[in-house]
Structure 1
Amino acid sequence: MIDHDMACRTCGYALTPIHRDGRVTYEHPVTPDTDHPTIAVPAHQRPNLFRRCHLCSIHQPWWEYHTDDAPIIVEAAGDTLTVAQRYSSRWHVCGACADLIETGDQPALTRRSLAVLGLSTDGLAAQILGGLHQAILLARAPGRTLITTGIWPATTVRPPALPRIRDRLTALLRGPVGLPHPLADHRARRHIADGLDQGQFTWIDGEFTDLVEQVAEQLPDTPVTTRIVPTGVSLLTWAHPIGPHHLDAASWTRHHDGWRIVAYRTINADLPAPTLTALRHEVGWLIPVHVRDIPHGHTITAQDPLAPLAATWLIIAQQLTRDDTVAPEAGLRRSYHRARRHTPDIRIVRIKPAARRIAATGGTGGRAQPTHRYWVSGHTRHQAYGPGRTLRRDIPIDPYLKGPDGAPIKASTTVRILGDHH
């Protein structure tokens, strides 16, 4: 999992995860006083979470830079008092400050920070900040790591653009940009990229996405098995961010005993055009925010970040959907043709019209229709088979959604209605 988004319970500052020998610890960007220990809690529990660039304190950070493990210590000496400040070796930096780090422009970086603080460029503060920034530039390790815990503005994913979005994602996974644990391992990243290069794209339309978002909140315990996990799909995307974790897409690759599942968010930013263009080229549109190795038979619950994905799988497996196809963008088709690459299929998955859906579920059978839609939990059925149907065997039945289309979802607190209002 890479969504270690933690904050200090005392001060509300976003903490930096440090991975060493399979263990995760959390540090403040600036070491606090001894009476302020680091107490890590999930960031969403802090309504006043402070997540800002460590250098300018304006924008949400995009990048983590790593300086030498020996901390940077800044001392300021006055007439009667000497103050020492100890900094972490991890620096969270916004896009604008990162551009100045990449070009090595320490004076511009210092002027930017001073302007934010409203300080003079020729005072003691300017000397202290200039020394700190110079130390960061001199001590930083090669490369940088993409921060994946931010809440970014979403961007719309259009089905014809999916091949381009996929290609940029695979370039990110195979490229030099650092990603948090466990995707710091380039071998694991290549395996995911290879899976993305195979199979077709699946785009879940708006009505289906709305339905998934409602029923995922009540998802029964769902074992992940080959019965529900689609094969031949390289990337599944929803029409809009879904669930409490604002997921936009997911992919899965088969392991010998299960699957590695990656969930993604789209990223957008209020950045100058050149910076945004560079970000699209280096990072793309999707970033991985949740990685999980799921063994065959593992149970996903309604509280799991992957609950929307499991609900999507179950509804598709229940044959409540129909498929349409759409061609990639014309420019992409030409680009694939020039590169002698197979033009991928893009599948749009929609909820079936009512009449077809009733036929798929066997009709009413003369019984009164329920007034709500609800999940039926997974169970086993003692089924007859063999000569004269004299033999019996238990077969597993996965959770399934029951009830007439257009009926409200049976939920504990909120009822939403799909379809036409009468």
Structure 2
Amino acid sequence: MNVRAPQLPKLRDQTLRFLDDPQSALRSGTSSGIQPGLDALASQLRAADLYWVTEDMAALAVSAGSQLAAARWTVADRPSPIGLAMFDGGISTIDARGAQIPVEGVAWGPYDGECMVWLLLSRRRLIAEMTRTDIQLIEEETPPLIPVYGFTIPLTGEALPMAELDVGDCPLIVMQALAASWLLMQQPNLVERATLPADKTVARSYRRAQRPVPDVTLVDLRRHYVPDTAEPNGDGAGSRYRHRWVVSGHWRDQAHGPGRSLRRRTWVPTYVKGPDGAPLLVAEKVNVWRR
């Protein structure tokens, strides 16, 4: 993704200008039935807590989500009641009349007693992909964060089976990754959250307008869940992996006791393995546009 985390407040505000302008291509080119959903998206973006999910965490959410059979979507189950999360590298695609559109961002918030979710695509990603075609994008008529698909989820005390979610054309893998990311964000033993300030130019514009300067929460995998890069062959050869990949949560025999001679069955959380900077491989089939 070409967008950087500190730019997110600016992209959010620029997108709001399109949503607030009834003459914009986003509004004037949208059917009347979708207008209330865009109104709700505008309200969400104004109040949203901002999250930037790193590539490792996005891959982890996809992998861990594939093991989620059910999830709850209430306010208590979200990292924030209203939020906007951008996933570096994306979390799969959604089919739009035969075209596979990457899902790079997700916005959520309350709507008529339910949780409304919007899937988003960055304008920069779209421009990069369209350079491979004969189609040209009119950039000044396109918001920085493009609403791709919106839907609502009922709020229930019990977990809803993933296979029974009525979310229209939204792929199951996206819903699973979103639910997993919400759960992982709230597990400090697995995830590290850091607060990043907005770009200086963005901060100045907020101060001129006498508005509080927003922060962006960076969500990343804690380093102690990334094993060393040596091959586990026990011969001390020091061979190194050439890729990183997601290792699913699993049981293993953990050594303990006198001289570590005993074994205890221990649950190992999902993690990303391999050396920093190496290409990331995703085990599950994830249809994501690549730059």
Q: Taking structure 1 as the reference length, what is the TM-score of the superposition?
A: 0.45
Partner Cα separation in structure 1 for residue 148 and residue 39 of structure 2:
17
Q: Which of 332, 344, 366 matches 2:202? A: 332
Structure 2 matches for 1:33-52, cutoff 5 A?
Answer: none
Structure-1 separation of matches of 2:84 and 2:272:
30
Give the distance between the partners of 1:261 and 1:232, measured in 2 at CA.
Answer: 12
For residue 329 of structure 1, what is the amino acid of its counterpart?
Answer: D
TM-fit CA distance, 1:406: 4.1
1:208, 1:407 → 2: CA distance? Answer: 8
CA distance in 1, matches of 2:57, 2:33: 31
How many residues get paired? 212
Q: 1:184-219: per-residue Cα shift (whole Å, max 9, x none)?
A: 32x432232122111421100121112122233333
Matched, 1:157 2:3: yes
Which residue of the partner structure matches residue 175 of structure 1?
21
Match of 2:215 among 332, 341, 345: 345
The share of aligned pairs that are identical, in percent, is 22
After superposition, the Cα gap between the structure-2 partners of 1:161 and 1:193, relative to the gap in structure 1 and judged at 3 Å, is same
C-alpha contact (below 8 Å) 1:237/1:250 kept by paired residues: yes
Equivalent residue number for residue 241 of structure 1: 90
Structure 1 unaligned segments of length 5 or more: list them: 1-154, 357-371, 377-401, 417-422
Secondary structure of residue in 2 paired with 1:156? coil
Any conservation in 2 of the 1:243–1:308 contact (CA below 8 Å)? no
**1:206 maps onto 2:65 in alignment:** no
* AA at the equivalent of 2:18: L
What's the offset of the Cα at 1:164?
1.1
What amino acid does structure 2 have at the position aligned with 1:287?
I
CA-to-aligned-CA distance 1:331-375 (integer Å, 9 cap, x gap): 11111111112111111011223279xxxxxxxxxxxxxxx6348
Instruction: Indicate whether 1:373 and 2:232 are aligned.
Output: no
Offset of 1:313 from its aligned partner?
A: 0.9
Report Cα offsets for 1:383-405 as digits up to 9, x if no partner. xxxxxxxxxxxxxxxxxxx5245
Task: Give the corresponding residue for 1:139.
Answer: none
Aligned to 2:172: 303
| Structure 1 segment 6-405 matched on structure 2, within 5 A | 155-176=1-22, 177=25, 178-181=28-31, 184-185=34-35, 187-245=36-94, 246-267=102-123, 268-269=126-127, 270=130, 279=139, 281-297=140-156, 298-301=160-163, 303=172, 305-319=174-188, 320-354=190-224, 373-374=248-249, 403-404=268-269
Aligned to 1:136: none
Distance 1:375 1:336 in 2: 47
Q: Distance in 2 between matches of 1:355 and 1:252?
A: 29
Larger Rg over CA atoms: 1
Q: Which runs of 5+ in 2 are unaligned?
A: 95-101, 164-170, 227-246, 252-266, 274-281, 286-291
Higher relative contact order (CA 8 A, sep 6+): 2
Match of 1:386 in 2: none
